[in-house]
Amino acid sequence: MVKILLVCSAGMSTSLMVNKMKDSAKAKGIEAEIWAVSDAEAADNLPNADILMLGPQVRFLESKMKEIAGDKPVTVIDMQAYGTMNGEKVLEQALGLLGK
């Protein structure tokens, strides 16, 4: 089971990406828990996640989130994949960073 936390400014635009990523995980037979929260809720949700992915619109939070995350990977979602809502590509980005 891989647990992927997505963070954006309000948690709204990323919810569509969550659904696309869940569909891709299901199609690939990957057990995944994927959810999105606002940046204000990130610290509270981080203990339950294997990786934190930031929406491109909050990329400025990357260094702050890395401090909070400790040894967990933190990355910014590929802007093109986000813009086209390519859930498969974003899932692959997360799995790659997790070495899966």
- 48-70 per-position pLDDT tens digit: 999 999 999 999 999 999 999 99
The answer to whether residue 12 is catalytic is no
Q: What is each CA distance from 100 to 1, 67, 74, 86, 90, in whole angstroms?
A: 11, 24, 16, 19, 13
What is the separation, in whole angstroms, between the first and last Cα of the chain? 11
- 14-44 per-position pLDDT tens digit: 889 999 999 999 999 999 999 999 999 999 9
Helical H segments across the chain, by residue range: 13-28, 42-45, 62-69, 79-83, 87-97
Q: Which CATH architecture has domain 2-97?
A: 3-Layer(aba) Sandwich (3.40)
74 - beta bridge partners? 52
- The model scores a pTM over 0.85: yes
Catalytic residue among 5, 8, 52, 91: 8
Per-domain boundaries in the chain? 2-97
Tokens (6 digits) for 93: 């980005």
